[in-house]
Structure 1
Amino acid sequence: MKTIPLKRLVPGLIIGPASWLGPYIVTSSLFLPALIQHLDAENKITLLALFSSVGMIAAAISNMVAGFLSDRTRSRFGKRTPWLVSGAFVFMLAMIFASMSTTIPLLMASWMLGQIALNFIVAPMIAWLDLAPENGKGTASSAYGGLGMALGNNGFTIVGAIFLSQFRLGFILFGIVTFLGALIAAVIVREPSNLDEPLDKPSSTTKAKFSIKDLSTIFPKWVEGRDYYLALIGKLFQGVGNFAITGYLLYIMTDFLHKDTSSTQQTIQLINTIMLVFGIAMGFIAGPISDRLKLLKLPVGLSTILLGIGVLSIFFLQNDIGLMIYAFMAGLGMGIWNSLDNLLNLKVIPDKNRVGFFLGFYNLGNTVTQAIAPVIAAFMISTIGFSSIFMMSFAFSIIGGILILSIKSVSR
């Protein structure tokens, strides 16, 4: 198997995910809610859940398609690069269209296009991890998740909060950042040509006899893929627990804690600064420590439990101290999680010939959960009240950790 030296792969795995995740987090958690509120303030909670539901469907389908297509691509630029660069370009256009939307249907159409394009970046890019040398996969995973995703999750939000009152301009600027970042990452990584790689083409007879039974082989049975499914379900629970809070962070500040716009902006920046520091710190040390001590399952499982504990501080204290405790606990937990969870999934993939597909599908935990969480949260808010989302987030995070710790093929 071809490999790429870490001196090229690591910078690409930092810039690449930061460039797609950062703009997505900022647009989905700040600019989209702000624009929806501007267009239809009365129905903002329901509309945000609707956008999330539609986005979830688009993300799920496009992620699987992107992973499948990139696995089967042969080009002078490799399997993944053509798709992720093209996806970044379309995402940029979608964000520009969103910035010009004057009605909810136009905004919905732009957002749908952006969701589809986003997953044509995500699924191929995460498969770059498989190009790392065997003794450096932990470092590569840490670069992607610990550094790249920390910058995306928190670093961009610090900057994004500045544009909270200019959200239309924010859509445009962050869309451009995604395209330029993906392009720079691709140039740095320089994925090798795979034109010489054989591609098994099904015969006409095979095509004619294709059946539902054949379709069922896309995913292995539980007994064969148990650990992969546990990792996937654990990631989904962790993701919902995380994004139920971050997806509604703007409304938590304004509607639950009753902060004004200036205070909201400052608090969001402070929270994300704390989480960014922890994310970068874990990005530097979690992967190398995992490689050296052969620890993987335990830190990943415990990290999501830390997140759940941090969420409770907001609920019980309902002040800035509670928010800071949440930032510290969630920052440490997410820093460890982002550094190592992709490596854990790489270890439990049931079919090594379809790395792009399985890694891409697993990475739906970063996109689909951002869609599912607001839907569940909106239901909880409307039926029980705003405080219920904190209990929900805690429960989902704990369940996610338990599922990860139940994996058998990775000992510790």
Structure 2
Amino acid sequence: MTNTDMKDIAYRGVRDEDQPKFPWRPSLGLLFGGCGWMLAGCAIQGILLPAKISEIAPDNKVSIVALVTTVTMLVSIVAGIVGGALSDRTRSRFGSRTPWIVGYTVVGSIVLLVFAFADNLAVVLGAWWIYAAIYNAMLAAGCAWQPDQIAPRWRGTASSMYGVGHQAALQGSQILAAPFVSNVPRGTIVVLVVAAIINSVAVLICREPSNRGVPVEGGSMGFAETFKSFLPPAHAGRDYWLAALARFLWMAPGGIGTYRLYTLTDYMGQSKDDAGYWMGIMATLGMVVAITFCVVSGPISDRFRSVKIPLAVAIFTVGLPCWLPFFVPTPVMYVVYVAASSIGSGVFSSLDQSIMTTVLPNPKTAAKDLAFLNSCGVVGNLAAPLIAAGVINVFGYRGLFPMGFTILTLAAVCVFCIRKVR
């Protein structure tokens, strides 16, 4: 393929006829990137930040976690969309996304070191908010590797590989961080080193091609046009917005995981060390189950050309086991719930990116438009502790589980109503 062909593909988007063979390099890049881009953020938000807050302000830990997420939500929305738009307009010998991924990894590592060793609550929260911006901007740039470099015919399998990385980050972050709930600085260093290594591997494997000769969408723009280029697509269509709502609802029950440590200690009567032990078991078992189903779901989806129905069923499958710890509130039943819901979580992680890249309105603004969809998930994830805190205040920790079932059922309905995807 000539340089002219590569530039044309980079501008209009890769088509099925451009890619007769499976694109291993970008797909493996998504596999490692899906893990590395999310690992530190998941570990900090899910375990190390709540642990740090409980050390500094134990009497107000639930309300502080909820308050923190309000600011984080706003930071993440702006950072994801702006980061995606900036990478869309970047031209370099290393492509649009790679320079940002490398830069964010370096700066993010420095910020996390500040978080690790700070004892002042304001410094801890400030460092986290800065990292949240970096994390979401990096995710926006990195996820665009899929529409940039992978044809629609291969996106189920490629999405499955990204999903494996995503699940490895989601569950692996807990495996890495759970033993350090009593030593946050050491846990933070372990997480950031592992994440930096994985990010480097992703970049080296993907080898994003140069795009220096590709025209910038819109060319030289005035202030008004530039401002509009950072906004979500105004006329993206019904399916795009249903996908956005489904992403939000999928992540909204995440407070169940955010308050997992407190649920085990304050509701199920476990010590902090025992809670860390149970969380490690949940994370390990959940990762094995989720990755197993994630690996097989994408290729099967490509084979039968069906994504929507398996994804909708998978979301409902995650919500249904929420009733287990509601009726039997023990650590063992909590582990069973995590294992059962991880089946649907694995399928979702496999097929989610395939649906999102299919509903994108314009390949020339793929990163920005995909970033908005991802930001909807981020907003749901960051709103989750707020929702959960309200539920805890009214119903106690037990109320988290019916809340999860209800919201996830609505998310499944949204996916089922998308028309463009089979």
1:365, distance to aligned residue in structure 2 (A): 4.2
Q: Quote the residue 1:372 is aligned against.
A: 383
1:140 paired residue among 140, 148, 158: 158
Structure 1 range deviating more: 101-110 or 13-22: 13-22
1:154, distance to aligned residue in structure 2 (A): 0.8
Separation of aligned partners in 2, 1:279 and 1:297: 19
Q: Quote the residue 2:311 is aligned against.
A: 300
Separation of aligned partners in 1, 2:231 and 2:38: 31
1:410 aligns with 2:407: no
1:408, distance to aligned residue in structure 2 (A): 1.1
1:107, distance to aligned residue in structure 2 (A): 0.7
1:40 aligns with 2:57: yes
1:366, distance to aligned residue in structure 2 (A): 4.3
Percent of residue pairs bearing the same amino acid type:
28
1:71, distance to aligned residue in structure 2 (A): 0.7
Alignment of 1:10-409 (within 5 A): 10-130=27-147, 131-145=149-163, 147-202=164-219, 207=222, 218-221=232-235, 224-241=236-253, 243-409=254-420
1:22, distance to aligned residue in structure 2 (A): 2.1
Alpha-carbon spacing, 1:218–1:264, altered in 2? closer, same or farther (3 Å)? closer
The C-alpha deviation readout for 1:49-100, integer Å capped at 9, x for no partner, is: 1111111111100000011011111000001001111112121111111012
Contact 1:66 1:124 in 2 (8 A): yes
Separation of aligned partners in 2, 1:325 and 1:230: 31
1:209, distance to aligned residue in structure 2 (A): 6.7
**Paired amino acid for 1:93:** I
Alpha-carbon spacing, 1:201–1:237, altered in 2? closer, same or farther (3 Å)? closer
Separation of aligned partners in 2, 1:96 and 1:42: 26
Unaligned segments of structure 1, at least 5 residues:
none
Give the aligned CA root-mean-square deviation in angstroms.
2.0
Structure 1 range deviating more: 29-38 or 161-170: 161-170
Alpha-carbon spacing, 1:211–1:26, altered in 2? closer, same or farther (3 Å)? closer
Alpha-carbon spacing, 1:208–1:52, altered in 2? closer, same or farther (3 Å)? closer
Contact 2:81 2:137 in 1 (8 A): no
Separation of aligned partners in 1, 2:229 and 2:246: 25
**Paired amino acid for 2:336:** I
The C-alpha deviation readout for 1:103-162, integer Å capped at 9, x for no partner, is: 1111111011100110121001111112124432211110001x1011101123112212
The C-alpha deviation readout for 1:218-251, integer Å capped at 9, x for no partner, is: 4224xx511011011011111112x121111111
Q: Which SS does the other structure have where 2:237 is aligned?
A: helix
The C-alpha deviation readout for 1:2-22, integer Å capped at 9, x for no partner, is: 569632223221211211222
Q: Which SS does the other structure have where 1:387 is aligned?
A: helix
TM-score by length of 2: 0.91
Separation of aligned partners in 2, 1:292 and 1:226: 27
Separation of aligned partners in 2, 1:324 and 1:164: 19
TM-score by length of 1: 0.93
Contact 1:92 1:178 in 2 (8 A): no
1:263, distance to aligned residue in structure 2 (A): 2.2
**Paired amino acid for 1:235:** R
Unaligned segments of structure 2, at least 5 residues:
1-8
Separation of aligned partners in 2, 1:354 and 1:164: 41
Q: Which SS does the other structure have where 1:350 is aligned?
A: coil
